[in-house]
Amino acid sequence: MPSVLKFAQRHWLALVALGALALGGGGTDVLRAAPCQGTAGADRQSCYFDVLRATAQAQGEGTALAKLAQFYARDQAFARTCHGYAHVLGETAYERYLETGAFPIQPEVTYCGYGFYHGFMSKLLAAPGAPALARELCGRVASALPPILIDACYHGVGHGALSVAAGIPADDVQDAIDRALNLCSSSADSEPHYLRCASGAFMQFAVYVTEGEPGFGVDPDDPLALCRRHREREKNDCYTQMQVVLNWLTGNDLARAARYVEGIPEDGYAIEAIQTLAGSPAHRTVDAAAEVHTCRGLQERLRLPCIQGLALRFLLGGTPGSEYRDAILFCRSAPLADPERAACFSLVQKHVSAAYPPQTLRAICRMVDPDYRTERCP
């Protein structure tokens, strides 16, 4: 279990107490006065959990997500682990959903790699009739938000599916994955949504490996063996989500982790895998411009996709609400050759065209150098 989630469980009594204070009057003052900046290490992590959970209980998940964005902007340590905090807010939202039937549908649920959906769906999938509920809730997202968010919703379903299917310790990991994929099949309303769900299940497997959960593990010399054994239908999502394990095995060293990807024989799978690996928020503290040299040292088939991954890093792990600004700045200012810059801007336009409503997209497209605009930016 990720360390930030363990903290949430460890401090749940404190969270409830602080929430009661907030609900009982003067809550805003309590939240504003939270002494997180006067703490460090585990104490600060605990403080952030207390404040976010109490804010959600007193003022709703939207306000809590706004506060998460504030913490992200002013604390690099928080930014590195913000996915786990968003995950816990998703779990809190599920508790509210049980009471009221309310399901937050707002752009802020995208913050920190969609951790909110991961947390919400991991709780939902343990409920009776879960597949139909998951399909109905993701359908609500589809009716109100850009297409990429329904993908994120089904990806969160996949996280929950493996959490439910795999006992800890896991007796048979492959059987657990198969049962999770069956849950995905029951929950999804289309093949693309099934595959997004499968990607979440594989990512949850990778997280269990890195956290040392009993029964979960890989061969350090051949960590992608699981993916080779899978059906063609799910291979791509397996290879891409195993970037979590590759980063863990190599200490977030992109050059070393990329060597595993170079061993994937199929070009299509290898290209998607390197893009996801280079785009991992695990590398967000590393100078992306400096890693251009790393990308250029890879097999030729992987060089441009790796550059695109560096831009994706900002889109997935950038400042909440304006992730595209950092990505565009990277494409514009990094020491890139013309084909590399074109590939960089192409990836950004592909992502933002699916992630933002038309009015916002038009504003973003105006930030893209005219020479590099594609059909996604008319």
pLDDT, tens digit, 9 for 90 and up, residues 68-98: 888 888 887 888 788 889 988 998 889 888 8
- For residues 159 and 78, membership in a common domain is answered with no
Which amino acid would we find at residue 142?
Answer: A
Q: Are residues 293 and 362 in the same domain?
A: yes
Per the structure block, which two tokens stand in for 154? 């089904």
Query: How long a stretch of residues is the chain?
Result: 378
Nearest by Cα to 257 from 265, 269, 249: 249
Domain presence at residue 113: no
Residue 139 lies in a domain: yes
Handedness of CA 196, 199, 203, 205 (dihedral sign): positive
Global pTM reads: 0.79
Domain assignment of residue 351, yes or no: yes
Q: Tell me which of 44, 72, 106 is where a domain ends.
A: 106
Mean pLDDT of the chain: 84
Task: Show which of 217, 246, 278 is a domain's final residue.
Answer: 217
Task: Kindly state whether residues 337 and 299 are assigned to the same domain.
Answer: yes
| Whether residue 350 sits in one domain with residue 244 | yes
Same domain, 163 and 87: no
Domain boundary residue, one of 190, 217, 244: 217
Which residue from 175, 167, 245 is spatially nearest to 207, judged by alpha carbons? 245
Are residue 182 and residue 55 in the same domain, yes or no?
Answer: no
Burial 287-315, CB ≥16 within 10 A → b, else e: ebeebbebbeebeeebbbbbbbbbbbbbb
Number of domains in the chain: 3
For residue 229, being part of any structural domain is answered with no
Q: Domain range holding 31? A: 1-106
Provide the token pair at 364.
């973003």
Pair (252, 319) in one structural domain: yes
Task: Note whether 210 and 240 are same-domain residues.
Answer: no
Least confident residue range of 96-110, 151-165, 266-280? 96-110
Residue 19 — very low, low, confident or very high, per pLDDT cuts 50/70/90? Answer: very low
Residue 44 confidence (pLDDT) above 90: no
* 136 and 212 both lie in a single domain: yes
The verdict on 261 and 341 lying in the same domain is yes
pLDDT digits (tens, 9 = 90+) for 109-157: 777 877 888 888 888 887 888 889 899 988 888 777 777 778 888 998 9
Q: Quick one: 207 and 344 in the same domain?
A: no
Instruction: Identify whether 258 is part of a domain.
Output: yes
CA 235/CA 320 separation, integer angstroms: 31
